[in-house]
Amino acid sequence: MDIPAIGDAEELSCDVLVIGGGTAGTMAALTAAEHGARVLLLEKAHVRHSGALAMGMDGVNNAVVPGRAEPDDYVAEITRANDGVVDQSTVRQTATRGFAMVQRLESYGVKFEKDEHGEYAVRQVHRSGSYVLPMPEGKDVKKVLYRQLRRREMRERIRIENRVMPVRVLTSPEDGRAIGAAGFNTRTGAFVTVRAGAVILATGPCGRLGLPASGYLYGTYENPTNAGDGYAMAYHAGAALTGIECFQINPLIKDYNGPACAYVANPFGGYQVNRHGERFVDSDYWSGQMMAEFAAELGSDRGPVYLKLSHLPEESVASLESILHTTERPTRGTFHAGRGHDYRTHDIEMHISEIGLCGGHSASGVRVDDHARTTVPRLYAAGDLASVPHNYMIGAFVFGDLAGADAAGHTAYEGELPAGQVAAAHELIYRPLRNPQGPPQPQVEYKLRRFVNDYVAPPKTGAKLSLAVAAFDRMTGEIAEMGATTAHELMRCAEVSFIRDCAEMAARSSLARTESRWGLYHERLDHPERDDTGWLHHLDLRKSASGAMEFTARPVEPYLVPVDGFAPAGGPSRHLGEVDLVPVATAGARQSPPAARTQGPGAPGPAGAAAAAAAADTGPAGAGDASPRILELLALAEESPGLDLLHPYLDDSDPAVRAAAVAALGETVPAGAGPALAGRLADAAPAVRAAAAAALRELLEVLPGGPELAAGLRAALAVPDAVVRSAALEALRALRLGDAELYAASLADADPEVRIHAVRALVSVDAVPALAAAAADPAREVRVAVAKGLAAVRDPAPAPLDPLLGDADPLVRGAALGALASVGCPEGYARTAVAALADAAWQVRAGAAAGLSAASPESAVPALAKALADANADVRKAAVLSLLAHRRSAEARSALATAVTDPDADVRAYAARA
């Protein structure tokens, strides 16, 4: 198919855009329409058959029916099941509104089991509450909902567009609010844009994250169409997601993608046993802790694990068959029959599902408040996508209803859709068409999800999670190279990009939470204990302005319903920034920097090496053959020729000859060599440019400056080669041929190395305002250079360091703190440095110790004395050096006296100077 032009997009308009036609989406659309809004419902498949609900539903897991359960008891139950990390205000919405939703669904025609007196037949499955309400005809729920959508009064307000898949939520450049979406038709491939007053994401979980044990890409526990679309769209729209490290892992039938349905079987007398027939589950709620017990039993000599039904009477078995083989998974009966299994004679072997992300069954999702609002204005999330722990089907309906009611107050956006965002969505959708012979989506997706299983699935370690992040970064390129020829293949390729985003979120979130919690959902072998003191927090992630994934630890708010064992105090959030990866390139710490590659006798220097590399290129003389012109040049160079004799070789058509001429120029340095080398910085051949840059660097101390050289170097700043631009800046700075305005312009260069040279050049002209502006550079190495540069100007002051002292990166903070030793460390900065001595990163502690050398002894010496006990030798060394600066203080001398026995030789040696 051809790639449609952006200008040919079909543009739709509505007050409320609902993305996803499953459980939450249909309810959101119905409620918004009932409140008078014009609604557009987009579904990448067909609303009649879409979402998890269309696969069948055998019962409600969280029905708080008056007289059978109390809302506060349910809130407490969910709080315990989620190890205390809960926003109770959202859970309470399900608890208090769930029964009215059951009645609303019943008015639509959904059937719930009732007893002989017409009362809801709520069953007790958990040990502390009766919440399970069976649905004998649950297979028809979606049909009932679709019928409601197609009622005439709803059709007048709800426009349904099936086979349209959004890939990005569009946001206003002015205030960041959600204003629409961009996507495409999964049948025709047509590009589609939508302008809306509000957007509701209801795309379900990311069930297609881990790879099922069967190896089938689509053999997942959750509906395999749920590829994390909404997670990725919310993330790229700037919304906060939370609990992504809390995975969904479920018990399921071995070699079958369906649940064992203990919720249904338990009220009939079924239960989970090991191979000896022993009940083993101690956990009271189906949670990560229960899954940990399940996994331990499965991995022991008492495994396998079964759902035991063979002891039940015929009536119970027949009733179970009538439910299990027609609702939750209609293929279930066929599966068992194919293996010759009968519940009367065979118990059901159980296993553990692949990992996934799902608020409805664990806690991971888009952060929402108790009205389904996300952190992006006018963007809502509901259902399994939203982080409302253990929300299940009724919770999805409740939050769909809440989202629809709140969103209905907004009217369609009337401004221009952001062209950049629309173009980015267009590129994401159609790039596989440019590479139709590229790797097919199933192969790339299989590899991606295999990495998820290898590195992200519990039990987790920092090393494996770091390897996962590296793997997912690499796979960004492989995903961009996928090929497609049809609209359906474009849909699958887009889904792979969503899966990759979710995989990275899962890995980085799991790295950031340095404890174990939720049993098997987040088991860290390297942090095996639960830490309520430091981690009774939600872990929020969002996309920063620079495009990085950053984290915030948000304390759990004080509970509405007290729960024994947890006492959240609330308080301010803790910004964590980007997560640090665990070093995995080497086995163990590297004690010294890598040795430089040695050169044998007669090996060429940098310029000669570049020339030799260029000479090896295939040229007119043939691969590997030295051109006769080069032989002539080498002979000429022996005579120390003038520039006029070298010019013909510098302008030769063969790049190998030109590179050799540059090398000769660097060796002979005739008059005019500087401008000639500067001219070669714009050569068409990379090897020639590299040789010229290397020669310039070698000759900076001997080349005379002048207008001609300055002009050549300034022109080189526009050359696309970053090596050239770096060399030009270095030469301009060293030869004093530039000014602050020229150097500041290079702070916008795309290459960090060039920007570092620009920083150094600005230091050379004491351009403090321009340096301070570079403190916001996206590259850590540039910000470190800025910190050091601000300490190196002629008239340094601490104020320009302020943003760097609060930088998210520990290396930047360490450099800024160390710079205080040169710029001065007045009282307020001394307090900052003293506090930084407790930082988790040793580089920050070392920088703080160094910076305190410029503080008053009263502020610095007591803190530095304590730093002498630091576990890191470099921190202790920095503390000793700073104490030496305060040696007039008796307390400093006393502290230094204790350091002369330090196990580190450097620390001992410096302390002995006192």
In this prediction, residue 616 carries a pLDDT of 42
Q: Angle between the 643-650 and 628-637 helix axes, to the nearest 10 degrees?
A: 160
Mean pLDDT of the chain, nearest integer: 90
Which region among 671-675, 787-791, 903-907 has the lowest average model confidence (pLDDT)? Answer: 903-907
Provide the pLDDT confidence category of residue 599 given band limits of 50, 70 and 90: very low
Q: Does 596 score more than 70 pLDDT?
A: no
In this prediction, residue 125 carries a pLDDT of 66
Mind listing the pLDDT tens digit for each residue in 132-146? 777 766 677 888 898
Strand pairing category for 123-126 and 129-134:
antiparallel
Two tokens, residue 261? 């349905």
Q: Does 367 score more than 60 pLDDT?
A: yes
Are 442 and 507 within 8 A, CB to CB? no
Mind listing the pLDDT tens digit for each residue in 457-511? 999 999 999 999 999 999 999 999 999 999 999 999 999 999 999 999 999 999 9
In this prediction, residue 607 carries a pLDDT of 44
- Sign of the CA dihedral running 200, 204, 208, 210: positive
Provide the pLDDT confidence category of residue 41 given band limits of 50, 70 and 90: very high
In this prediction, residue 112 carries a pLDDT of 82
Q: Does 623 score more than 50 pLDDT?
A: no
Distance, CA of 241 to CA of 87 (rounded, Å): 14
Distance, CA of 648 to CA of 897 (rounded, Å): 70
Two tokens, residue 332? 């279930």
Strands (E), 172-316: 178-185, 191-201, 241-242, 251-253, 271-274, 305-308
Strand partners, 18: 41, 200
Distance, CA of 826 to CA of 717 (rounded, Å): 40
Count of H-run helices and E-run strands, the chain = 36, 19
Task: Name the residue among 240, 237, 230, 549 with its Cα closest to residue 421.
Answer: 237
Task: Name the residue among 198, 197, 199, 178 with its Cα closest to residue 418.
Answer: 178
Which helix (H) or strand (E) segment holds residue 575: the answer is strand 574-577
In this prediction, residue 626 carries a pLDDT of 60
Mind listing the pLDDT tens digit for each residue in 751-774? 999 999 999 999 999 999 999 999
Edge-first strand listing for the sheet containing 574-577: 365-366, 241-242, 537-543, 549-555, 574-577
Strands (E), 54-142: 59-60, 123-126, 129-134
Strand partners, 538: 554
In this prediction, residue 127 carries a pLDDT of 57
In this prediction, residue 619 carries a pLDDT of 40
In this prediction, residue 614 carries a pLDDT of 44
Share of the chain above pLDDT 90, in %: 68
Burial-class residue 741 by CB neighbours within 10 Å (0-12, 13-18, 19+). exposed
Q: Does 621 score more than 60 pLDDT?
A: no
Provide the pLDDT confidence category of residue 58 given band limits of 50, 70 and 90: low
Task: Name the residue among 218, 309, 233, 237 with its Cα closest to residue 266.
Answer: 309
| Per-residue DSSP letter, 384 | G
Distance, CA of 307 to CA of 275 (rounded, Å): 10
Q: Which residue has the higher pLDDT, 626 or 487?
A: 487
- Count of residues for the chain? 914
Provide the pLDDT confidence category of residue 624 given band limits of 50, 70 and 90: very low
Which amino acid is located at 88 in the chain? Answer: Q
Task: Name the residue among 756, 751, 781 with its Cα closest to residue 771.
Answer: 756
In this prediction, residue 592 carries a pLDDT of 52
Q: Which residue has the higher pLDDT, 234 or 63?
A: 234
- pTM of this prediction? 0.71
Q: How many angstroms separate the Cα of 644 from the Cα of each of 63, 379, 670, 901?
A: 92, 69, 9, 67
Distance, CA of 271 to CA of 277 (rounded, Å): 10
Distance, CA of 124 to CA of 133 (rounded, Å): 9
- Mean pLDDT score, 731-739: 93
| Per-residue DSSP letter, 206 | B
Task: Name the residue among 186, 198, 141 with its Cα closest to residue 161.
Answer: 186
In this prediction, residue 432 carries a pLDDT of 98
Q: Does 830 score more than 90 pLDDT?
A: yes
Opening angle at CA 261, ends 54 and 288, nearest 5: 105
For the chain, the distance separating the N- and C-terminal CA atoms, rounded to the nearest angstrom, is 79
In this prediction, residue 907 carries a pLDDT of 87
Share of the chain above pLDDT 70, in %: 93
Are 841 and 830 within 8 A, CB to CB? no
In this prediction, residue 602 carries a pLDDT of 44
User: ω before 459 within 30° of 0 (cis)?
Assistant: yes
Provide the pLDDT confidence category of residue 322 given band limits of 50, 70 and 90: confident
Distance, CA of 695 to CA of 689 (rounded, Å): 10
Mind listing the pLDDT tens digit for each residue in 656-714? 999 999 988 887 888 999 999 999 999 999 999 999 998 898 888 778 989 999 999 99
Q: Does 527 score more than 90 pLDDT?
A: yes
Q: Which residue has the higher pLDDT, 563 or 614?
A: 563
Which region among 7-21, 45-59, 159-173, 479-493 has the lowest average model confidence (pLDDT)? Answer: 45-59
- Mean pLDDT score, 569-586: 88
Q: Say which residue the tokens 């665990």 belong to.
A: 582
